[in-house]
């Protein structure tokens, strides 16, 4: 019973921990495309900043994955 609950906690940790970064990455991409649409000359700068923001958002998901693995017996 205890091991089953640990697996449930592991699944919830990564599942809930990935929701925020998923939404954040979607919003980052959406706003970057809007910015490029308005000002195409700055596409290179916007793309660089977008990738940097995605990396920071993805780091949160990696932390959730580490916590999920720490829950294992």
2: left (phi over 0), alpha (psi -120 to 50) or beta: alpha
> What confidence score (pLDDT) does residue 2 get?
86
> What confidence score (pLDDT) does residue 1 get?
58
**Candidates 3.30.230.10, 1.20.20.10, 3.40.630.30, 1.20.1250.20; CATH matching 2-71:** 1.20.20.10
> What confidence score (pLDDT) does residue 40 get?
93
Tens-binned pLDDT, residue by residue, of the chain (73 aa): 588 888 999 999 999 999 999 999 999 999 999 999 999 999 999 999 999 999 999 999 999 999 989 988 7
Alpha helices in the chain (DSSP H): 2-38, 43-71
34 secondary structure, DSSP code:
H
3-state secondary structure of 51: helix
> What confidence score (pLDDT) does residue 3 get?
85
């Amino acid at each position: 019973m205890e091991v089953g609950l640990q697996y449930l906690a592991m699944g919830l940790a990564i599942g809930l921990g990935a929701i925020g970064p998923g939404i954040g990455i979607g919003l980052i991409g959406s706003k970057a495309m809007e910015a490029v649409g308005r000002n195409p000359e700055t596409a290179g700068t916007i793309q660089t900043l977008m990738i940097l923001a995605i990396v920071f958002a993805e780091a949160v998901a990696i932390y959730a994955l580490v916590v999920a693995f720490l829950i294992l017996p």
